[in-house]
Structure 1
Amino acid sequence: MEPDLTTAPNLLPVLEALQRREPIFHRPELGTTRRDFEAMTEPDFWEVGASGQRYSREYVLDVLEERYQQPFDDDWETSDFHCQEIAAENYLLTYTLKQGQRVSRRTTLWRHTAQGWKIVYHQGTLVAER
């Protein structure tokens, strides 16, 4: 039932670079300010949350700005990374994120630009208990 999620050997450097950036917005070493998050995302970035709700870039930036104004616990674990190039300099990264008992499958569309890595789209889908 599961797909073969083996990253092509020529994409392993991209996979490694993107793994260091995921989960998005949970890496304080990459920034914690609105300006940092703006720099990480393309102007037309948007996401679909685990609820299925669509969120605009502005909404996500507002939430992140509020979240990082106070200390909070951010315990997570990632696994099952897979990367594929879907167009020139555009990469689909998928992985599993575990946050306590909450497990979700994550998908991020990344674009490599002259300014560095930019997030184009993100989605999280909760894994149903079996």
Structure 2
Amino acid sequence: MNQETDGVGEAIAGELRLMDPEVRASRSLARQLLDPDFVEVGASGRRWTYDEILAAMPGMDGAAESGPRYEPSRFTGVLLAPGLVHLTYETTLDGDRVRRSSLWRKQGADATWRMYYHQATPVPPDGA
């Protein structure tokens, strides 16, 4: 494997972990995957900061073991620069499709991949 496929693979693994109800329900587990400078623009259009998303995630969709789960598909990724990966993919949750884009960066003393930015855009009912 090379740096690009390694980085993309690690970012996809991180995305999948963030969809796991155990991680979504645990502030300490989610913190390991989010960059301290994290920002999200959610499907609702709301802007979330690192602290806001960590506080809200346990009550959000996909956090309950017995509830609906995210069904991800169509992952694509590219290494934009050393330590910076851009991913795009789709999720379905309770019949609602969302197109997603995120930036993962690897920096700091621990040099682990963490989500730096995420944006979610609902797919219209006609699927266009």
Aligned to 1:126: 122
Identity among equivalent pairs (%):
27
Aligned to 1:92: 86
Alignment coverage as a number of residue pairs: 122
Q: Is the 8 A contact 1:42 1:118 kept in 2?
A: yes
The yes-or-no answer on 1:75 pairing with 2:69 is yes
Q: Is the 8 A contact 2:91 2:99 kept in 1?
A: yes
How far apart, CA to CA, are the structure 2 residues paired with 1:10 and 1:43? 23
Aligned to 1:44: 37
Unaligned runs of 5+ in 1: 1-8
Matches within 5 A, 1:1-130: 11-23=4-16, 25-28=18-21, 32-66=25-59, 71-113=65-107, 114-130=110-126
Aligned to 1:6: none
Q: Is the 8 A contact 1:81 1:93 kept in 2?
A: yes
Partner of 2:45, secondary structure, is: coil
Partner of 2:72, secondary structure, is: strand
How far apart, CA to CA, are the structure 1 residues paired with 2:40 and 2:32? 16
Give me the TM-score of the superposition, normalised by structure 1.
0.77
Q: Is the 8 A contact 1:84 1:91 kept in 2?
A: yes
Seen in structure 2, the aligned counterparts of structure 1 residues 124 and 85 have a Cα distance that, compared at 3 Å, is: same
Give me the TM-score of the superposition, normalised by structure 2.
0.78
Amino acid in the other structure paired with 1:120: Y
Partner of 2:4, secondary structure, is: helix
How far apart, CA to CA, are the structure 2 residues paired with 1:111 and 1:37? 15
Q: Is the 8 A contact 1:21 1:27 kept in 2?
A: no
Partner of 1:20, secondary structure, is: helix
Q: Kindly report the root-mean-square deviation, in angstroms, between the aligned alpha carbons of the 2 structures.
A: 2.6
Cα offset, 1:101, TM superposition: 1.2
